[in-house]
Amino acid sequence: MPDLAGANGQREGFRVVGKPNLPGITSRALATGEAKFGLDFICEGMLHAAFLRSPYANAKVISINTERAEALEGVALVLTWEDEEIKSLKSHGELFGAPRPFLDNIADREGAEVAAVVVAETEDICEEALRLLDVEWEVYPHVVDIMEGGKPGAPGARQGGGRPPEFHNIKASHTDRENVYSATLATGDIRAGFAEADHTLIFKMRIPPFASHMPNPPGSVAWWADGPSAGGSSEGEGEDLYIEGVVREKDAISSMYGMAPDRTIQTGLFMGGKYCDWGLRRSQEITPLLARRTGRPVRCFNKREDTYDLIMNERYVWIKAGFTAEGLITAVDDFSVADGGVRSSSAFGNIADLLQGPYNTLRCENIRQVMEVVESNRGMMYVSGQHCPFNWDAVTTAIYFIAERLGKDPIDIARLNLHGPDSKADTYPVKSFEMCVSAGKELMDWEWHAAGARRLPDGRLHGAAFRYQMSPRHSFTDYHARLELRDGVVHMPTQGPVFGAFAVEANAMVVAEELGLEYGEVSVSLDTREAFKTYGGGADGTAASCWVMKECANILKEKIGGVPIAEAARGESIVAEYSGRPPLALWVTGGMGGRLDTMNTAYCEVAVDEETGEVEILRFGVAADTGKIIRRTSLESQIDQAMYFSQGCQLFEDYFYDPKTGVRLNTNMIEYKKPGMLDVPPVEKALLESRAGNAAYGASGISHSLANTNMVIIAIHNATGVWVEPPATPDKVLGALAV
């Protein structure tokens, strides 16, 4: 349902909202290098902390003697997993995974924090103290190849077993193999579906693991100070906790340490987290405890090599699809093997995909998804970015292969299989999808050709690819907005940054729109005591928070009573508040694809050199229905980002492990390849406004729905006629061409 509820939901004329090139509140600081991230905070008398990290992929600390480390000059504190405060500390950084101790004596991946943390005057002394710890290790066999690790008789990746992953109503169960859990989700009658088919298609694909690591290593600086007299945030006696560098939100730290939110203070605006990063690292969580024990500020940051967490786990997919002579899919049998990662890894990337798949958008009722999750010692999958293949790449790849088999345009096959707006039985076209396809074809000069059928003037092979997705919103998130008219100025206070995102500009634009102001006339003030914070997944979260801020702005407008703002502010301050969320989005109420409103489409063109194996992405194209554009600059930047890290995982990024030791071999910026400035292609955009969303003014979101792991690979197949598993490096391309 469009945004018909609340104030001015269907406003037609816009002066501020959607206007391009309005300056970002943080833009100058970022452009000039003035931005101060957590790593940049220096406190007088500051100590440094470092964790003992496992040199083994699967091991246990049997005992640890700290005497030599504690005797080292400059060492202030050495704590082990047996410390009572360490035992009682509960991490808030690992969501959707099985809970585990904050620190214990078990290491299930190389580089994992284990058994001890040291605090000293300098980082060098910390490193020396770690070397002086007398550690007795018990080393176990490891699993870094998930296909081998899932076989009968493979060594266990977990010490003491684990808990099967679960996500909402999808729960995996144990199998008869040591490391493997399994979950199944089925609808319809798969046998009947295949009986209706004229053709059957079988293919295998790999969804690559990749890092998309943080621009700034995660960590924190923390200290304790007495209340208001020491610059505290609230009235009353007691201590305030100051912490800088926490990527996600300070409220998680408040909860960990039993502090009231207004007594936990984070002033730094720049955090440098991953895209949509909800995962706190131990280096961000430990410093308050260490600062309290030592009575001094404590700083703890990961090294760059420690930032290569998984943003997406490795996954292998086998698809069997039945379809008619026209290309209508009648049955899909999806069998996947996914890396479950180490303990407490998120279920995103494995069983969570079963619920959030594109199969819901197909007219086909006969779907079976079987997911095997293999525990491994490869890496940690935090809820950070989660990339969002959500099975989309399996379906769009199937659509491409069906089109190739029948000699048809994949866009036509996608249109044939996409159900109507209201249900799988609805045969009406989805207006938003048709808008996106029409704009996308014009944007890209789309002209379909069969695989291997076109060469560019320079002799290279030409390929193109297409995919579609829903444009989701996190409409289930609540916000508390507050505005204050004071001294002739409208103030919009906000707590500040959350999980590395800062999206208050869009909210300020909405306030200006509703109150008849210019964007620059709304004063955004940062106050750690404020409840308002913008979060919820990038553009889709912004659309939701803007709905709440729109309601708040109209409450203020009513209180002003039509008097010019300059006159209304002559007396006491006028305050307006509003708590709530927009009506639930169709993405939520419609079963994540069972009903459809706003959509997006993406396109890719490549050139493949047969002699060198080099793949050049000539251009990306995005035709997306955002419902209503709120802040164009942010929206365009988010689209660029999603397409760039999609490029990275398909052409450059992969993990390499030593099979004998389980050690990851490429945790540096030279050996772990990422796209550079000379690699990224232009991303051409057609941004549409159907006003079909139900957030502010009918807005929707983009978020990570445009991210993909196989669109470039499909374009390579369209160029060459051969399938290249990602990342499609030149040697892989040449190898596939030679077969």
Cα angle 549, 550, 556; round to 5:
85
3-state secondary structure of 524: strand
- Rounded Cα distance, 537 and 505, in Å: 16
For tokens 């008619």, the residue is 324
- Rounded Cα distance, 103 and 478, in Å: 32
The pLDDT, as a whole number, for residue 321 is 98
pLDDT digits (tens, 9 = 90+) for 278-290: 778 999 999 999 9
The pLDDT, as a whole number, for residue 163 is 80
Residue 411 has which token pair?
A: 């866009």
Left (φ > 0), alpha (ψ -120 to 50) or beta: where does 725 sit? beta
- Flag whether pLDDT at 338 surpasses 80: yes
- Flag whether pLDDT at 213 surpasses 90: no
Instruction: Look at residues 617, 618, 625 and name the one whose alpha carbon lies nearest to residue 649.
Output: 617
Give the lowest-confidence range in 7-21, 168-182, 684-698: 7-21
The pLDDT, as a whole number, for residue 230 is 43
- Flag whether pLDDT at 480 surpasses 70: yes
In contact, 308 and 301? CB cutoff 8 Å: no
**Average pLDDT of the chain to the nearest whole number:** 90
CA distances to 5, 72, 420, 625 from 506, in Å? 20, 53, 32, 18
CA distances to 210, 584, 724 from 349, in Å? 12, 25, 21
The pLDDT, as a whole number, for residue 704 is 77
Instruction: Look at residues 151, 142, 714, 202 and name the one whose alpha carbon lies nearest to residue 468.
Output: 714
- Rounded Cα distance, 585 and 596, in Å: 10
Please, is 371 exposed, middle or buried when counting C-beta atoms within 10 Å of its C-beta (0-12, 13-18, 19+)? buried
Distance of CA 445 to the CA centre of its chain: 31
3-state secondary structure of 162: coil
Element (H, E) at 129: helix 123-132
- Rounded Cα distance, 450 and 717, in Å: 10
The pLDDT, as a whole number, for residue 268 is 83
Treating both helix axes as pointing N-terminal to C-terminal, what angle do 392-406 and 711-720 enclose, rounded to 10 degrees? 20
Percent residues over pLDDT 90 in the chain: 65
- Flag whether pLDDT at 8 surpasses 60: no
pLDDT digits (tens, 9 = 90+) for 44-54: 999 999 999 99
- Flag whether pLDDT at 216 surpasses 90: no
Percent residues over pLDDT 70 in the chain: 92
In contact, 260 and 266? CB cutoff 8 Å: no
Sign of torsion, CA 586 590 592 597? negative
For the sheet with 180-187, list strands across it: 173-174, 180-187, 367-375, 329-341, 315-323, 199-207
pLDDT digits (tens, 9 = 90+) for 425-474: 999 999 999 999 999 999 999 999 999 999 999 999 999 999 999 987 66
- Flag whether pLDDT at 537 surpasses 70: no
- Flag whether pLDDT at 379 surpasses 60: yes
Domains annotated for the chain, with CATH where assigned, are: 27-35+475-583 (3.30.365.10), 38-140+214-307 (3.90.1170.50), 418-473+588-738 (3.30.365.10)
- Flag whether pLDDT at 161 surpasses 90: no
- Rounded Cα distance, 111 and 51, in Å: 10
Element (H, E) at 191: helix 190-196
- Rounded Cα distance, 450 and 464, in Å: 10
3-state secondary structure of 733: helix
Q: Which long-range contacts (CB under 8 A, 24 or more apart) does 522-526 make?
A: 522/490, 522/492, 523/489, 523/490, 523/491, 523/492, 524/25, 524/492, 524/493, 524/494, 525/491, 525/492, 525/493, 525/494, 526/267, 526/269, 526/493, 526/494, 526/495, 526/496
The pLDDT, as a whole number, for residue 666 is 93
What's the whole-model pTM score? 0.94
**3-class SS letters over 582-608:** CCCCHHHHCCCCCCCCCEEEEEEEEEE
The torsion angles phi and psi of 384, rounded to 5 degrees, stand at: -140, 105
Task: Give residues with Cβ within 8 angstroms of 661, minimum separation 6.
Answer: 56, 57, 110, 142
- Rounded Cα distance, 560 and 557, in Å: 5
CA distances to 365, 411, 597 from 593, in Å? 13, 18, 9
Element (H, E) at 317: strand 315-323
pLDDT-derived band at 500, boundaries 50, 70, 90 = low
pLDDT digits (tens, 9 = 90+) for 540-586: 778 889 999 999 999 999 999 877 777 776 668 899 999 998 888 88
Task: Compute the radius of gyration of the chain from its Cα atoms.
Answer: 27
**Residue of higher predicted confidence among 163 and 431:** 431
In contact, 561 and 275? CB cutoff 8 Å: no
- Flag whether pLDDT at 229 surpasses 60: no
pLDDT digits (tens, 9 = 90+) for 199-211: 999 999 998 888 8
Region 386-398: mean pLDDT is: 78
Region 631-655: mean pLDDT is: 90
Q: Which amino acid is at 335?
A: F
Question: What is the DSSP code string of 351-411?
Answer: THHHHS-GGGGBS---EEEEEEEEE-SS--B-SB-----TTHHHHHHHHHHHHHHHT--HH
Region 18-22: mean pLDDT is: 90
* Per-residue b or e along 294-329, where b marks 16 or more CB atoms closer than 10 Å to that residue's CB: bebbbbbbbeebbbbbbbbbbbbbebbbbbeeebbb
pLDDT-derived band at 167, boundaries 50, 70, 90 = confident
In contact, 631 and 78? CB cutoff 8 Å: no
CA torsion, ordered 141, 146, 152, 154, to nearest 10 deg = -10
Task: Please compute, for residue 677, the number of CA atoms within 13 A of its CA located in the half-sphere on the CB side.
Answer: 0
- Flag whether pLDDT at 235 surpasses 70: no
